[in-house]
Amino acid sequence: MSVLVEKADLSLRYTGHYNEVKDLLMQNSADIINAGRKKALQDFVLQGIPTRVNENYKYTNLQPHFYPDFKFIHLREPAEVDLNAVFRCDVPQLDTYLAFIFNGWYYEKNHQTINLPDNVILSGLEEISFERPEYLEKYGRLADTATDPLVALNTAFAKDGYFLYVPKNTVLEKPIQIINFLQSEKDAFVTQRNFIYIEEGADVKIINCDHTLNLNKYLNNSVTEIFIGPNASFEYYALQNQHNNTTSLNSVFIHQQKDTKVTTLNSSLHGGLIRNNLNIILDGENSSANLFGMAFIDRSQHVDNFTRVIHAKPHCQSNQIYKTVLDDNSTGAFSGRIHVMRDAQKTNAFQRSNNLLLSDKAIMQAKPQLIIDADDVKCSHGATIGQIDEEALFYIRSRGIEEKQARLMLMNAFAHEVIQQIKVIPLRNRIDELVEKRLKGEVARCHECAYNCES
């Protein structure tokens, strides 16, 4: 019984904290953000912090990660961008519109440097919610608080994050790069809420980089809602590179209207616990969604990729490829669901998860699912968990390449299937290089990381 009480206590700690700061949150936020808080908290109370009992979190127990005595950041704190830190995220020859986020707060000085084309708005969510609330009409429409406790918790505490609006037929020549920094003097609980609205015919690429700047424990709970107008094209790259004491919980919701094209790519190079929830609704004909993901984990890291693709309209396509390489005591999970709704005929939906286990202590768990309620469809999923193909290895070795080198080549090839999907060439080259270094063991630690965290 005592365990049960403790678990309830942990959720209570967060609801209790909400009640303490409720007035503070309400007073300092716009109505549109405040509107959902109450219901969100109720939904969180009903669900609690997810444990393995929650089917959607079967392979990721979050309880221990909510346990530390976190500091909450409910008001903007002054922050200064450290150029050295920026340099670490630098991708050579990659020209981007660069914006920073500190502990979930949109960096105020971004406005001075960013130079986006006219009418494109990149701003803080808080700022927009006060100044142009009409843009946030659909806030909270996608991120359902009743089915996911993390979304509920995020909605209850939501303050800031980034807001992007791209008007009709605007093609952004350069990608927008958002760099998320976690830097606090104490262990911190960070809530980030993002909102992206892309109008008809626009073409946008976003690169998201996550970084930690010191060794404190962080829990970053972010929710991003993305609305894609007809005939628009959208690419979303996420690079996760954080230290081993970080818990990174990302929920991304994408709503696609007709004739849209979306590509997402999650590259988890380093992190303590990473959970990527990706929900895509294909809600218009002739749309396509491509979901890619890869993770390289070792020590006691944990990466859980969780996707939901809903085909609500006919003539849509979706394709998912997720790859994980696991070493040491690391654990990985992949849960993917394709749901073809009634009447969403002529759907093509594919999903694949390939996983390599390099150690006997690593554990991989996969849960690919198909829910098909229409008949004229082609759907498939495949999952494999295993090792490098011995025959391929033999083939390479028979050509005079030593085993270690051969293994590297094969692992590289394994990852490359995902990497080659990156359309931003400098970024692809950079990730290629990072992955190769990672596999060689040269960057077993965070890339060029000053902190040699050994936990």
Residues at the contact surface with other proteins, assessed by CB under 8 A: 55, 342-343, 345, 355, 357-387
C-alpha distances in Å from residue 399, one per residue of 392, 393, 395, 404, 405: 11, 10, 7, 14, 12
How big is the chain, counted in residues?
455
Instruction: Pick the closest to residue 264 from 208, 221, 314, 304 (CA basis).
Output: 208
User: Nearest distance from residue 78's CB to other proteins, in Å?
Assistant: 47
The least distance separating other proteins from the CB of residue 53, rounded to whole angstroms, comes to: 11
Torsion of CA 282, 283, 284, 288, to 10 degrees: -10
Q: In whole angstroms, how close is the CB of 108 to other proteins at the nearest point?
A: 47
Nearest approach in angstroms of CB 356 to other proteins is 9
Beta strands 347-357 and 97-102, pairing class = unpaired
Query: Distance between CA atoms of 95 and 82, rounded to whole angstroms?
Result: 19
Strands (E), 135-245: 162-166, 176-182, 188-198, 203-212, 218-228, 233-241
Tokens of 29: 């936020």
As a 3-state breakdown, the chain gives helix, strand, coil percent values, each rounded to 5, of 25, 35, 35
Q: Which residues contact 402 (CB under 8 A, 6 or more apart)?
A: none
Residues 6+ apart with CB under 8 A from 385: 355, 357, 364, 366
Using the minimum distance from each CB to other proteins, give the nearer residue, 258 or 367: 367
Q: Tell the smallest beta-carbon distance from residue 202 to other proteins (Å).
A: 34
Min CB(352)–other proteins separation in Å: 9
List 105's β-bridge partners, or say none. 102
Helix (H, G, I), strand (E, B) or coil at 361: coil
If the CB atoms of residues 216 and 351 are measured against other proteins, the closer one turns out to be 351
Q: Nearer Cβ to other proteins, position 116 or 444?
A: 444
- Three-state secondary-structure class, residue 191: strand
What's the first-to-final CA gap in the chain, in angstroms? 31
Q: Which residue has the tokens 């609801």?
A: 15
- Answer whether 260's CB lies under 8 Å from 290's CB: no
Radius of gyration of the chain (CA): 21
Pick between residue 77 and residue 389 the one whose CB is nearest to other proteins: 389
In the complex with other proteins, the residue whose CB is nearer, 93 or 359, is 359
Let me know if 436 is exposed, middle or buried by CB neighbors in 10 A (0-12, 13-18, 19+). middle
Dihedral angle, C-alpha 311, 312, 315, 318, nearest 10 °:
-20
CB of 362: closest distance to other proteins in angstroms? Answer: 7
For residues 120 and 358, which CB has a smaller minimum distance to other proteins in the complex? 358
Nearer of residues 23 and 375 to other proteins, judged by Cβ: 375
Could you tell me the smallest distance in angstroms from the CB atom of residue 326 to other proteins? 9
Token code pair at residue 331: 């654990």
CB of 90 to other proteins, least distance (A): 36
Q: Which is nearer to other proteins, 184 or 354 (CB)?
A: 354
The least distance separating other proteins from the CB of residue 386, rounded to whole angstroms, comes to 4
In the complex with other proteins, the residue whose CB is nearer, 71 or 346, is 346
Minimum Å gap between C-beta 283 and other proteins is 19
Closer residue to other proteins (CB): 23 or 390: 390
Rank residues 55 and 454 by Cβ distance to other proteins and give the closer one. Answer: 55
Tokens in use for 421? Answer: 């999907």
